[in-house]
Structure 1
Amino acid sequence: MNASLSISDDPADIGAMRQQIAAATRMLVMEEILDYSGHVSARMPDGDTFMVQNASDSRGELEPDRLLVMDLDGRVVAGNEKPPLETVLHAEIFRARPDVQAILHCHLELAISFTLMKNVGLVPVRSRAVRWRSGIPTHPDPSLIRRKEQGESLAATLGHHNAALLRSHGMVLVAESVPALYIDALHFKANARAQMSVLQAGQTLVPMTEAEMDMIDSPREFHIAKLWNFYVRKARASRIIPSDWSATL
């Protein structure tokens, strides 16, 4: 399945969506972005429901048919397992952002570090981080996002941005598709690592300027499809995902 195609309500497309979420989740574990917690979600074609993993299944072994379908009020529409504790995090972002089709919530230690520093924000320093040129706000609530009002507050902090940090807790990323979300997660980690390397070297950080970011014109759709294909094939070769998950491409 082409990463740029939108999801329809055709059963084949829904099956592809399940495989993409499961594959992205397993591969994010491989890249040490997800571990025993965190989750990937994707909006269903009706716009008012979304797919997310259940609370207890291992992220490293997630199966497509174990995913739940939830509504924006946190009710399980399809599936028999218990939903994640922070389901409302996904629901309220989807509610507030009709443009968002996929969400990652994770607890990347590198990202958390930037919520623990005084007067040091995470900013674009690598070219692909132009995705976050509008800013990466920090949400002040360090607790689990379990109540509707907490989800609404986080969605407000995220606003029109494509990423937000959660104080002493983790981060959220949003994107237009699951493949795009996965590639963004890799670039987000690389950007944070580059900035941290400069800080650890005791040097003065020189973020990209607006003029430099204006110069970056790489086609996003092509870039996502190219990298998604690469990482899916890498994961298949490493047996992170089964070879018969053909819909992941």
Structure 2
Amino acid sequence: MNTDIRELVSLSSRILGGADQGDFIWGHASARDPEGRGAWIKASGWGLQEVTPDRVHLVDREGAVVEGEGRRHLEYPIHTEIYAARPDVGGVVHTHSPHAVALAAAGQELVPVSHAANFFVPPSVPRFTLTADLIFTQELGVALAETLGGARAVFLVNHGIVAVGPDLQSATVAAILLERAAEQQLVTLGYGGVPAWSAPEESIAKRERIYNETAISNVWDYLVRQLK
């Protein structure tokens, strides 16, 4: 049994749940199978905060449960098609994070009014608008992967978000940062006035200083410690 990778998916799921990104039993995080067989993802029917290693299974690109038990999520193509399109991606997170959903539905671009937004912009976070329904077919998964392109995240307008990273640890941190950035922007706009934000060159400089690989790893370690 792939205990380590199941534990990783379990940790990511519970971190996301603890960050209020859970939506009852919906939302999921996955890690790319090291042998190229598909995505390790939680079984359907469990909330993010309930995920234990034995509730994580391996789903292949055709939707078959290759290893482990439980019903698979309908939206497995989010994960399998991004892995197929992006060899650099080792982790994928899909949640219905509330402020990010609201920001995208309002038609607002994410702008760097806070440190968190600098992790993503520039360039603009892409918006998937082909459907607000579930991504339950290979064709929709392919279309989503095309919209994501080389970005770190994508808004599924009127649905949720997808965040990716070279591993699941960084994808998890990205999902939390995206929700935090959206919340901070919505709070800023609520004050009225003329919002200020970083220029592109400053955003890129801040990204390199604040969100380098070591820092992201340290944030992951911090989030794991908070579970305990």
TM-score exceeds 0.5: yes
Alignment partner, residue 230 of structure 1: 222
Q: Which moved more, 1:212-221 or 1:143-152?
A: 212-221
Alignment partner, residue 168 of structure 2: 178
Q: Residues 140-186 of structure 1: CA distance to partner in whole angstroms, max 9, x if unpaired?
A: 11001111111111111111111111121111000111221222222
1:50, distance to aligned residue in structure 2 (A): 1.5
Alignment partner, residue 125 of structure 2: 136
Counterpart of 1:194 in structure 2: which amino acid?
Answer: Q
Answer yes or no: is the 8 Å Cα contact 1:195–1:205 preserved in 2. Answer: no
Alignment partner, residue 100 of structure 2: 111
What's the TM-score, normalizing by structure 2? 0.91
In structure 1, distance between residues paired with 2:200 and 2:37: 36
Cα distance change of structure 1 residues 116 and 225 upon mapping to structure 2, 3 Å threshold? closer
Counterpart of 1:92 in structure 2: which amino acid?
Answer: E
Alignment partner, residue 38 of structure 2: 49
Residue 180 of structure 1 aligns to a residue whose secondary structure is helix
1:125, distance to aligned residue in structure 2 (A): 2.7
Alignment partner, residue 71 of structure 1: 60
Answer yes or no: is the 8 Å Cα contact 1:18–1:64 preserved in 2. Answer: yes
Alignment partner, residue 35 of structure 1: 23
Answer yes or no: is the 8 Å Cα contact 1:108–1:171 preserved in 2. Answer: yes
Q: Residues 199-242 of structure 1: CA distance to partner in whole angstroms, max 9, x if unpaired?
A: 11113233321120232232622112222222211211xxxxxx
Alignment partner, residue 210 of structure 1: 200
In structure 1, distance between residues paired with 2:105 and 2:49: 28
Residue 202 of structure 1 aligns to a residue whose secondary structure is coil
Alignment partner, residue 58 of structure 1: 47
In structure 2, distance between residues paired with 1:181 and 1:115: 19
User: C-alpha root-mean-square deviation of aligned residues, in Å?
Assistant: 1.7
Pick aligned residue for 2:143 from 117, 136, 153: 153
Counterpart of 1:16 in structure 2: which amino acid?
Answer: D
**What residue ranges of structure 1 are gaps of 5+ in the alignment?**
1-10, 237-249
Cα distance change of structure 1 residues 199 and 128 upon mapping to structure 2, 3 Å threshold? closer
In structure 2, distance between residues paired with 1:97 and 1:189: 23
In structure 1, distance between residues paired with 2:23 and 2:91: 19
- Quote the sequence identity (%): 29
Answer yes or no: is the 8 Å Cα contact 2:163–2:172 preserved in 1. Answer: no
Counterpart of 1:167 in structure 2: which amino acid?
Answer: V
Answer yes or no: is the 8 Å Cα contact 1:86–1:146 preserved in 2. Answer: yes
Q: Residues 46-92 of structure 1: CA distance to partner in whole angstroms, max 9, x if unpaired?
A: 23422001111232121112211111222211123110011111111
What's the TM-score, normalizing by structure 1? 0.84
